[in-house]
Structure 1
Amino acid sequence: MPNFLSVPERASKPRDRGLTHVLDTGVTAAGAADVLAGSGPYVDIWKTGWGTAYVDAAVVEKLAVLRRHHVATCLGGTMLEIAWSQGVVDACLDWAAGAGFTHVEVSRGTMPIGADDKRDLVRRASRQFTVLTEVGTKDPDDLPDPGAWRDEAVADRDAGAALVVAEGRASGTVGIYDTHGRPRDAVVEALVEGIGVDRVVFEAPRTAQQAWLVRRFGPDVNLGNIATGDLLGVETLRLGLRSDTAVCPVGTCP
């Protein structure tokens, strides 16, 4: 990167904060290689969402591409939820390990998984993987209780989760956002109060949401559900290279 502008210092990979978490909705192995050719330094976790890993004949090849770029690979939570509902959790986890996944997401946004069963899934998955858990549901009519989200995040962490993902979906209209995509401040603050901002990955598919989080928590906030085509744009938001987050230092402006 050039060095003639003053921008926030960003740690290089592997980093434990300022993570960019990608939502892969079906990118091919070749497509992943193309994305990472320019964006690889800015991608930390790559989640295969929507059960695409199960039907992708080249998923092992794609995971190998990601590994070469030092990107952690995460199996999306819905697939594990379905495995739980069918009584085949161990088969799912063993398959994921054999395919080359390094991380697994544990969620309960689709199937009726109780809190205790979720903690059990976290403990089982953490024997083989780094575990991300998700709090919140995908139902836009389900108004979040900040205290309940905080307590679930704390319990997930105590069960062995490395990171907690705050639900926002690919639409950015549920969970930590209202139906118009506006952040629900009380829910965001409750999660940060419970486990600390560095342990939360905020799903933020929209530019306005990404910018709000960067302005609120700084360039090293963890951002999730980022589309593959938005990776460079997200990094420019972190560095203040877009009008959404640009700041003119006092005494230096014309």
Structure 2
Amino acid sequence: MPKFLQDIIDASRPKPHVDGITMVLDRISKFPGMEVEAIAQYIDVAKIGWGIPFIMESASVKKWVDRWKSMGVSVSNGGTLLEYCVTKGKQDNCIRKLASEGFGTLEISEGVIEISRAEKKSMVGLARSLGMRVHVEVGKKDSRNQLTLNATLDRIRAALDMDIDMVIVEGRESGKGVAIYDESGNIKWDWVDAIVSEFGLKGIMFEAPQEVQQTSLIMRLGKDVNLGNIALASVAALETQRQSLRGDTFGIHPVQPEIMGGPSPRFVYYIISSHGTIDQDRIMKLTGLNRRTTQNSLSSLIRQGLIRETRDMTDLRRKLYSISS
């Protein structure tokens, strides 16, 4: 069936998606109906949160999973459910039950407990043998017991060494006080830059429950960033951001050239292209980048011939930056 005003823009994004993955957090508050069918094309994974399946009848869980599958959406457990089973020594039983009920994706996390590498490899192997995709979530749920950046990088590295499909960077439902977010929900860009610089975007998903976080990550990393813990009510808004059909990201992707050097130069280029001629202090204020990162990004963009540097004729000490014509 054609999209609305398809003669002007074809906003279809046929599955399977190899990037720009969207994972929703399903709280089991309302059975997925017409409102979900309308946007199911843009949902790749539905994660039934936490240990919710424990409090449901088995037949109800299967009915819920089947409904998602009928719309072409893979269903994942919440990592907490599997963590609880690990504490009981019943992780294999859990994985087999999930597979038999139609869950297509297994999430392994250590948000509350620690799981040995041997146990994780065993669970990955079992899930693979049952035809499941595997996501490994990195991060702690307790804001008072957070991993350091180096520890986070080490765990991502270790997870990617296993036969998995995606590493998820913890964000919880709040997007506050965990991993890449500070206590107010602001993004710690030094963390994001460190993760993306080492691992790239493919195979990495950032949980981003707040719409402002989703917009910021797309503006900085591009439309193909994988995002998780998206509320069902935010899916359509997120997709318009990905496709540059909303004010925040309007037109940024079609006009942005290939930019080398990681996410920071891309973000600085976007700011300059959006605001016109601008000085370094203003760029730092708009991006939140520190002076050294900003200077390095500007130098990289100048070397690539993407921007030009001139002097403010009213103050020759002040440098101005604009897009190269």
Tell whether the structures are fold-level matches, with TM greater than 0.5. yes
The ranges of structure 1 where at least 4 consecutive aligned residues each deviate by more than 6 angstroms after the TM superposition are none
Residue 42 (structure 2) pairs with residue 42 (structure 1): yes
Shift of 1:27: 3.6
Q: How far did residue 10 of structure 1 move? A: 6.4
Out of 169, 178, 185, the residue aligned to residue 181 of structure 1 is: 185
> What secondary structure, in the 3-state scheme, does the structure 1 residue paired with 2:168 have?
strand
Q: Which amino acid aligns with 1:61?
A: K
Letter in 1 for 2:34: D
Q: Determine helix, strand or coil for the equivalent of 1:141.
A: coil
- How big is the alpha-carbon RMSD for the aligned residues of Structure 1 and Structure 2? 2.2
Q: How does 1:46-61 map to 2 (within 5 A)?
A: 46-57=46-57, 58-61=60-63
RCO higher in 1 or 2 (8 Å CA, sep ≥ 6)?
A: 1
CA distance in 1 between counterparts of 2:127 and 2:234 reads 30
- 2:204 — aligned with what? 200
Whole-Å separation in 2 of the counterparts to 1:119 and 1:176: 26
Report the CA distance between 1:147 and its aligned residue: 2.6
Query: Residue 224 in 1 paired to residue 224 in 2?
Result: no
Q: State TM-score, norm by structure 1.
A: 0.89
Q: Alpha-carbon deviations, 1:184-207, whole Å to 9, x = none?
A: 122222322333202111100001
Which residue of 2 is the match for residue 103 of structure 1?
105
The alignment status of 1:75 with 2:77, answered yes or no, reads yes
Shift of residue 46, structure 1, vs aligned partner = 0.6
Q: Name which of 137, 146, 161 aligns with 1:134.
A: 137
Counterpart contact for 1:144–1:187, Cα < 8 Å: no
SS across alignment from 1:244: helix
Q: Is the 8 A contact 1:153 1:194 kept in 2?
A: no
Deviates more, 1:182-191 or 1:142-151: 142-151
Report the Cα distance in structure 2 between the residues aligned to 1:164 and 1:10, rounded to whole angstroms: 26
- Matched letter for residue 95 of structure 1: K
Which of these two proteins has the greater Rg computed from alpha carbons?
A: 2
Aligned-partner Cα distance in 1 for 2:26–2:141: 18
Report the TM-score, using the length of structure 2 for normalisation.
Answer: 0.71
The question of whether the paired residues in 2 share the 8 Å contact of 1:170 and 1:205 is answered with yes
List runs of 5+ in structure 1 lacking aligned partners: none
C-alpha displacement of 1:40: 0.9
**Kept in 1: contact 2:140–2:146 (CA 8 A):** no
- SS of residue in 1 equivalent to 2:215: helix
2:149 counterpart residue number: 146
Please name the residue that 1:161 is paired with: 164
What aligned pairs does 1:20-39 form with structure 2 within 5 A after superposition? 20-28=22-30, 31-39=31-39
Q: 1:215 aligns with which of 198, 210, 219?
A: 219
**When the two structures are aligned, how many residues end up with a matched partner?**
248
Cα distance between partner residues in 1 of 2:245 and 2:229? 21
Deviations 1:161-196 (A, max 9, x none): 110001010000011111111111222223223332
The aligned amino acid for 2:250 is A
Distance of 2:154 and 2:128 partners within structure 1: 20
- Aligned identity (percent) is 34
The one-letter amino acid of 2:184's match is H
Q: Which moved more, 1:65-74 or 1:150-159?
A: 150-159
Q: What do the CA deviations read for 1:128-160 (whole angstroms, capped 9, x no partner)?
A: 221000011112123442232222112112211
Q: 1-side partners of 2:29 and 2:122: how far apart?
A: 31
Structure 1 pair 121–195 and aligned structure 2 pair: CA distance change class (3 A): farther
